[in-house]
Structures are given as structure tokens and as C-alpha cells.
Amino acid sequence: MPQGYNCRVMRALTVDQPGRPPKLSVKEIPVPVPGPEEALVRVEGCGFCHHDMLVMSGTLRRGVAPGVILGHEISGVVEQTGSQVTTLKPGDSVVSILTDACGKCGRCLAGQEHRCRSGVGIGHGRNGGFAEYVALPEFSLVRVSDQLNDSLGMISASLLACPMGVALQAAQSVAQIQPGETVVVTGAGGGLGVHAVQAATSLGARVLAVTSSPEKLGSLAPLGGEEILHTGELDFSEMVLALTEDEGAAVVLDTVGSPLFPSSWRSLAQFGRLVLMGEVAGRPVEINLAEIIFRDARVLGSSGVSRALVQQAAGMVSRGEMDPIVSQTFRLEDAETAFSLLARRQPLGRLVFTPQPGAG
């Protein structure tokens, strides 16, 4: 039997033609064989990230392996381990970080395995979790068996890395939000945004949650959003300034990017930190650099998540400090419906695929 081939087959979601809408189908392909440092994971849940939508629609192409199986928000159960795997065994419940990681380079050893020197994106440069099984490096997997309980099930665990850990990284490690600071979260009703609201709230911030979906107003307040601003076509910075006695916000956690940049920038206080977490349009923005200088502002990027933050997110969920918001689950066969819901920004929180037969 050739390397990487297995006589067992599984169902996997494939992108036959990118577009809006894309042509998607479920095909039977061989179950992957884990390499010596990999584990074969039976996928129980895989979140449908905006990243996946950008690839499906053809907006994001760079670094995408041809024919790759998408999906990087993976939870599942280890079914088989490679000969050199030492920390995982069959039956362990795991979630993956967003990239594969060698576990040996300087960054991996420094706790920055999400920026591994040889790392490629899971569900981007190598196959991801929109399939019944995925083979992943041991070092990209975090064991969560002990954290599963009534508030954290196998499906909601798929959100622990992205978007929950990603939100924690931006709020805690990058923005370094301090108690009492005012924090604006844009795209607050989206999968990343609802968890960014919670992450900022958990750090003691006053959160101004910005959403363009009137139907989501009222759903964000219980998550910690103190003021909910419905932007529509309006410039929300006027409202932020009005709510902060013209000071502006100490931090803007921006999950939307260029379409909201003018408002996000104008919302920022002196010494403010603008943390960019998402870019939905891929377009340049215009700014006079003097404005950054004289505002003593910091413009920061944040993506990915380390294993430590995934573990922190799991602990926070167990203690009731954060809540994974799964909007709806879908079978792989219903991916086109899920795409159209996400494209219309309908869901509050995350859509999650449940690839196992009989789930959904």
C-alpha cells in the first residue's frame, strides 16, 4: 500500500468551483494515514470560519493548496497515533490550533507554535476538518478530555482555538486590555466578534459592541456588550465619542477590516491600540501617518493562537467565564446552505459542521 493511502474511505467536502455561491460537493476519498509524528482524528465538529468562506468565494487564494480540504476549527477524538507520538493516545478528545507545528524550532519552543517556522495553515496549505477524518501533527493538537463538561461539549470545543483563543490572544496578549478600559468590538455579532466581546469583558473592559445586524441587538448584551450600536450606513465613531465624553476608546478590536477602517480609526483615543483581527474585503485603506504619530497610537495585527491560549479558553469555559456560541450545526452535505447564511451574515456566533454520519 503506498504511503498516505488507506483502503478505508471517508466523506469530505470539496470546493469544485470557487464563487458566490461556490460549487461544493461531498466526495468519498481515502482516510488519511497518520505519519510518525501525527494522530488520526475522527472529526466531531469543525467551525465554519470567515477564512473558509473567503477561500470558497475565490477572494483568498494565496497559499491555498489545490484541492485542499478546508476547515481549521477542529474538535475530535484521536483514533490512531503515529509511532513517535508520545502525548496522545486513542480515545483522547482534542482540538487543533490553526497551523501545523514542528514542536522543535525556536518559535515552537518559545510557545509561539502558531508561528512555527515550517508551519502551514490547516485547512489552507494542508487538509483540514471538513471531512470525517484528518491527520494532524501531535504538536498542533491540544488534549481537552479533562475539560469537557456540561458547558463544553465536543462540538462547542471546536471553537476553543478559533475563534475563542484567537479572540483571547487579541484582547489579552496583543491589546493587553486593562480593567476599566473602553473597548470597541466591530463585527460583534459574527463568530469572531461574539467571542471578542466575551474576551474583553472577561478582562474587565467596558465593551461597546458594534453590529450592523438589527436582529442581533439584544443578543449581545448578555455576553457583556455594555452598549450596542447599530451602525447600518452610519459612522459609529460618532456614537463611540458620544459614549466616552469625546475621549474615544482605549482599544478597538476590529474583526471586519478595511470597510470599517475610517470609523475604527476615528473611534480611537489618544494612546489607543487598534488591533486588526480580520479583513473581509482585501482592499487598501488611506491614512495620514501623522495622525498615528500625534495620537501616539498603536496599530497591531493579531492572528492565530498558541496551545497555551487554547488551554486557557477551555479553562474559562469550564469556569463559566466564556461561552462558546454555536449558532447552528450542519452536515457536510448542507454546506451550500451554510455558505449562504454566512455570506448574508445571518448567524450570531459560529456555524459548525458535524462531519460524522448521522450527526448534523
> Which residues of this chain interact with Zn ion, rule CB under 5 A?
49, 73, 102, 105, 108, 116, 162
Smallest distance from Zn ion to CB 49, Å: 3
Nearer to Zn ion, 26 or 102 (CB): 102
Nearer to Zn ion, 46 or 229 (CB): 46
Smallest distance from Zn ion to CB 195, Å: 10
Smallest distance from Zn ion to CB 40, Å: 21
Nearer to Zn ion, 250 or 275 (CB): 275
Separation CA 343–CA 110 (nearest Å) = 38
Q: Which residue is nearest to Zn ion (CB)?
A: 49
Smallest distance from Zn ion to CB 278, Å: 10
Separation CA 269–CA 258 (nearest Å) = 19
Smallest distance from Zn ion to CB 123, Å: 9
Nearer to Zn ion, 119 or 225 (CB): 119
Q: Which residues contact 142 (CB under 8 A, 6 or more apart)?
A: 94, 95, 96, 97, 160, 161, 307, 310, 311, 314
Nearer to Zn ion, 73 or 254 (CB): 73
Separation CA 267–CA 272 (nearest Å) = 9
Separation CA 91–CA 75 (nearest Å) = 13
Nearer to Zn ion, 102 or 241 (CB): 102
Separation CA 307–CA 286 (nearest Å) = 36
Nearer to Zn ion, 105 or 221 (CB): 105
Smallest distance from Zn ion to CB 102, Å: 4
Smallest distance from Zn ion to CB 44, Å: 17
Separation CA 13–CA 130 (nearest Å) = 6
